[in-house]
Amino acid sequence: MTRLTLHTEATAPEASRPYVQRAQANNGFLPNLIGILANSPEALETYLTVAGINARASLSLAEREVVQITAARIHGCDFCVAGHTAAALKQAKLPTRTVAALQQGSTTGDARLDALREFSEAVIARRGAVDNAQLAAVLEAGYTERQALEVVLGISLATLCNFANSLGQSPVNPQLQPYLPGNLRTNGLPHAG
């Protein structure tokens, strides 16, 4: 049971309906995050606008998903962990073992992605005030100053949706449940668990 109204296309405020319709068309179902955010047309518009801007960042899709899964894990948002796990596997084509490690906050075996995960963790933990060694480590892994700021951008996007889900207590859609932590097989195929 959600604490905030979980809107559908039919019940969403009129100003939210175009965004709800677009999300439903893009996903083939209405993610409960969108149903929660629909309570505030401004919050929903902000989420979709910032998501579009984040998608244009110089970080690759796989790298952006590393940031999103890391932030969702730290913020305790299983909905977003599941949603970004699905994107990491289906769209970014990351290996299941890598994604499962990200869900746990453990080493993936990919030094570059691990540096990005560790930097994302530090940015969240220190609210951006990472120490010189933490910034140097991500730069030495081949990321740029621009991309360090894009991590902050990705975390800001994640914070909006992670906190909205936590506030609304939105359930994970059935379509995303196979991607929850603990529901991934390491052979590359999700399973309902």
Mean pLDDT, the chain, integer: 95
DSSP symbol at 38: T
Q: Write down how long the chain is.
A: 193
Q: What percent of the chain has pLDDT over 70?
A: 96
Q: Which residue stretches of the chain have pLDDT < 70?
A: 186-193
* SS3 (DSSP) at 109: coil
Task: For helices 96-104 and 78-90, give the axis angle rounded to 10 degrees.
Answer: 160
pLDDT value at position 131? 97
Model pTM score: 0.93
pLDDT value at position 191? 40
Question: Which of 43, 63, 62 is closest to 159 using CA atoms?
Answer: 43
39 contacts 5 by C-beta, under 8 angstroms: yes
pLDDT value at position 63? 98
69 contacts 106 by C-beta, under 8 angstroms: no
Q: What percent of the chain has pLDDT over 90?
A: 93
pLDDT value at position 132? 98
23 φ/ψ sector (left φ>0, alpha ψ -120 to 50, else beta) = alpha
pLDDT value at position 162? 98
Can you list the domains of the chain with their CATH numbers? 17-179 (1.20.1290.10)
pLDDT value at position 186? 56
